[in-house]
Amino acid sequence: MRRIDAEIAAEGGKRSRSRAQIMEVFFRSGRHLTVDELTRKVRVRNRNIGSATVYRTLKLLSRLGYVKELDFGEGVKRYESSLTAHHDHLVCTECGKVSEFEEPRIESLQEEVAREHGFSPTMHRLAIYGVCGRCGPPATGKGEE
């Protein structure tokens, strides 16, 4: 965590209280936050922090590889720490719940497909949309209504 400050300093950057607070709240919060959600959380600690600085901090962390930008097509970006293992997402179109999954077989098939098309893959985005267990059919049985 101090490693990030070191990396910023190595690039000629300076430390700052605002950025430190934003990073702390971000890495201690749940995943898949929007800038607006994060800004609110940060402002509980320090009411003076503006969202421009939250944007800047996330962009910086993204450039340094500590944060991943997510886009589930909501018109707003979401962010998560990239310190956790790679995974893809399941998004409930009813309640918005986001779950994570890892499926190595999908990963290697993607590599394979890319190679077959002459592409050197560098990243991918996979999101599966649907209805989660809570919002969907009541566990066992047929549909009602």
Partner DNA sequence: TTGAATATGAAATTCATTCTCATGATATAG
Partner DNA sequence: CTATATCATGAGAATGAATTTCATATTCAA
> Which residues lie near a copy of itself (CB under 8 A)?
71, 73, 90, 92-93, 99, 101, 103, 105-106, 109-110, 113-114, 116-133, 136-137
Which 65-84 residues touch DNA, going by CB under 7 A?
75-77
Q: How many CA atoms lie within 13 A of 65 on its CB side?
A: 4
Among residues 36, 41, 40, 37, which one has the least CA distance to residue 25? 41
Q: How many CA atoms lie within 13 A of 87 on its CB side?
A: 15
Identify whether the C-beta of residue 123 lies closer than 8 Å to the C-beta of residue 107. Answer: no
Among residues 106, 66, 101, which one has the least CA distance to residue 87? 101
97 binds Zn ion (CB under 5 A): yes
137 binds, among Mn ion, a copy of itself, Zn ion, none (CB under 5 to 8 A by kind): a copy of itself
Given 5, 100, 114, 132, the residue binding Mn ion (CB under 5 A): 100
122 binds, among a copy of itself, Mn ion, Zn ion, none (CB under 5 to 8 A by kind): a copy of itself
Identify whether the C-beta of residue 8 lies closer than 8 Å to the C-beta of residue 15. Answer: yes
Q: Considering the complex, what minimum distance in angstroms separates the CB of residue 84 from Mn ion?
A: 7
Q: Which is nearer to DNA, 56 or 97 (CB)?
A: 56
